[in-house]
Structure 1
Amino acid sequence: MWNRGPLGRLLVVGAGVLAARAALRAVRRAASPGSLDRTNFRGRTVSLAGGPAVAAGASLAAALGAANPTVAAAALVAGGGAGAVGLYDDVAGSRPDQRAVKGFAGHLAALRAGRVTSGVVKIVGVGVAGLGAAALLAVDPARRRPRHLVGRGADLLLGAGVIAGTANLVNLLDLRPGRAAKASLLVAAPLTRGAHGGPAAGIAGAVVGILPDDLDERVMLGDCGANALGALLGVAIADRCGPIGRAGALAVLAALTATSERVSFTQVIGRTPGLRELDALGRRTP
């Protein structure tokens, strides 16, 4: 695993760029014509190929940059698992009976009514992926673990919550071209520092590899890409935090998620100088 020093991090970033670009070409070749086409917010036809490409590229590069095989496995479980159920929701969620259900609360309301939506499958799948990745981080030999069983259990659940919560939050931002990718890059950049920074470098590289196509509306991340990036960022955060840090991160994630049920992030960004310009930077003009 390449995780030592600036040169090592730069190599991991490069590996992420190459992996995402190679995966994008592979997805485009493998997909049947039109099967991944969707209509975006401007009515343009955009391919969902960006999602599997960035999920695969970021997962592989994050694993490559991990400090040891345990953290690498956690990255693969989180990115691969969250990406897979996100792709299922991208495909199955496009059906008319599924598209009517919106938001976390809407999917839970449908479940209470006896309907298992693709969104519910995604929610459960992301949670399971987060728990699996957190369990791997919990046995990382390089990590200091709480001494008592209750403390270890709490630490495990906090880690799973951070991974699943970050996956959900990045997905909530994926409403405009490049927005979720830019947010992921901004979060990943400071996480590349220190002994735990290799996975974040891989994530950043994969985002850089896919961002031009995302901004130009040739591809979109969809739930597959956004969930995978978020889950991988959650691993990068949880890996470098103890229980207190994980609890703080989870509190922020919970507050932002709750806010999203009442406030439109798109409207907030549009009204806020600085955020508005950053959101539009590099995006294709109408």
Structure 2
Amino acid sequence: MIRHGARTAALLASFGATRAVATGLRSRLPGGSPRWERTNYAGRTVDLCAGPAATVGAAVGAVAGTLPPRARGAATLAVLTAGACGAYDDTAGAGDPRRGFRAHLRALGHGEITSGTVKLLGIGAAGMAAGAMLKDRPVDRILAGVVVAGTAHFVNLVDVRPGRAAVAVIGLAAPGLLRRGPAGALAAAPLGAASAVVIDDLAEQTMLGDAGAHALGAALGVAVVAGNGRAGLAVHAAAVIAAAAYGDRVSRVAAG
């Protein structure tokens, strides 16, 4: 049984680790400020420190609670892979005008491996691996993989204005604290990490970027998987697939 103390430990650990990493990165900016600074939609300069910080914080929160080894492993794998793939896209994909997964898959069909393709395939594979660690039956594993990867993509889709992704994660993760078993402690990890950066994000001092949005989404997806059976997984899988299709359509329209 996962006790309330595990949720509190995960929440505090993820919050503290996220703040510590963000503060450390901001004081040093390894590799120089051009690597870490971006111009947001309003023309303001913000840093990308929240992304790696939230990734580390969500991963730390997942291992801080008293969780079964498979749950810890699934969460750590999904969060770190999603964060790493997102960070790669934040750097290698900067300035790439292509938007939406269809554009990147089309490029792959022509022999070009874009940063978006690496992100899509990497997070997809990590989601399936996490699903296989959390569920036993083949159908449940596939649905779980779709939920983990799809939730990571969904959180990134809503990250279009300051604070939106962090607020969305907080709103979706908070009810998960009421879940029994591992799901409650797993929900505390993204909740703590998002809470640690939301004020700076809203103030347009930092941004989650692809790294933070995907990592928080993956952590949230793992919590959803842990708290649902096949019917719940099917509903969530359908929801994230619909969101991905809609987001791809909007991206293509916006791109021209």
Structure 2 CA distance for aligned equivalents of residues 218 and 173 of structure 1: 18
Q: Which runs of 5+ in 2 are unaligned?
A: none
Structure 1 CA distance for aligned equivalents of residues 7 and 124 of structure 2: 29
8 Å contact 1:200–1:233 — kept in the other structure?
Answer: yes
Instruction: After TM superposition, give the deviation of residue 89 of structure 1 in Å.
Output: 0.4
Amino acid at match of 1:23: V
Q: Which runs of 5+ in 1 are unaligned?
A: 139-144, 146-151, 268-286
Alignment of structure 1 residues 1-286 onto 2, 5 Å: 3-5=2-4, 7-28=5-26, 29=28, 31-34=30-33, 35-65=35-65, 67-94=67-94, 96=95, 99-138=96-135, 145=136, 152-193=137-178, 194-195=180-181, 196-263=183-250
Q: After superposition, what is the alpha-carbon deviation per residue over 1:238-266, rounded to whole angstroms, capped at 9, x for unaligned? A: 111112211111011111222223348xx
Instruction: After TM superposition, give the deviation of residue 58 of structure 1 in Å.
Output: 1.1
TM-align CA RMSD? 1.8
Q: Which has the larger radius of gyration?
A: 1
Instruction: After TM superposition, give the deviation of residue 62 of structure 1 in Å.
Output: 2.1
Instruction: Give the structure-2-normalised TM-score.
Output: 0.91
SS at match of 2:249: coil
Structure 1 CA distance for aligned equivalents of residues 36 and 66 of structure 2: 32
Amino acid at match of 1:137: L
Instruction: After TM superposition, give the deviation of residue 10 of structure 1 in Å.
Output: 2.9
Q: Which structure shows the higher helix fraction?
A: 2
Of the structure 1 ranges 255-264 and 230-239, higher mean CA displacement relative to structure 2 is found in 255-264
Instruction: Give the structure-1-normalised TM-score.
Output: 0.82
Instruction: After TM superposition, give the deviation of residue 179 of structure 1 in Å.
Output: 0.2
Amino acid at match of 1:126: I
Q: % of aligned pairs identical? A: 44
Structure 2 CA distance for aligned equivalents of residues 89 and 102 of structure 1: 12
Structure 1 CA distance for aligned equivalents of residues 93 and 156 of structure 2: 14
